[in-house]
Structure 1
């Protein structure tokens, strides 16, 4: 959803409810200046990306530790 900064100021409650479903992009002078997004959705996206990484690389805990230490 794309809204102006003035629209956000006038209806902040509505847009706080809206970000549960979809990101809200705020514009000023026709340019996107900010993005409102749900903290819960961001955490879920991070978790999904980590689970995907782990699924593709089945290291044991000891192997992962040794690999990490080797990089230091």
Structure 2
């Protein structure tokens, strides 16, 4: 959840509570400068490994890193 530094200052308690469940991205003058996150993530290590495993093979084996990068940049 992106917020501005001013929003954080105005309602710190709210964002500390929300940070228990999701990352809070703090921006200053339009640039993300910090991330507020829980030191005790709800996802276990096994869940994170399962997510990473699900991403394996998304990019075909015959494509180079440079080609994948160019394709991704073309979409932006």
Which bin holds the TM-score, normalised by the shorter protein? 0.5 to 0.7
Q: Does 1:2 align with 2:20?
A: no
The residue number in structure 1 matching 2:71 is none
Note the residue ranges of structure 1 that are not aligned, 5 or more in a row. Answer: 53-72
C-alpha separation between the residues in 2 aligned to 1:4 and 1:14? 14
The runs of at least 4 aligned residues of structure 1 exceeding 3 Å deviation read: none
Deviations 1:2-35 (A, max 9, x none): 0000000000000000011100000001000000
RMSD: 1.8
Greater radius of gyration (CA) = 1
C-alpha separation between the residues in 1 aligned to 2:20 and 2:39? 9
Q: Does 1:17 align with 2:17?
A: yes
TM-score, normalised by the number of residues in structure 2: 0.55
Q: Does 1:26 align with 2:15?
A: no
Residue 39 of structure 1 aligns to a residue in which SS? coil
- Please state which structure has a larger fraction of its residues in helix: 1
TM-score, normalised by the number of residues in structure 1: 0.58
Aligned residues: 47
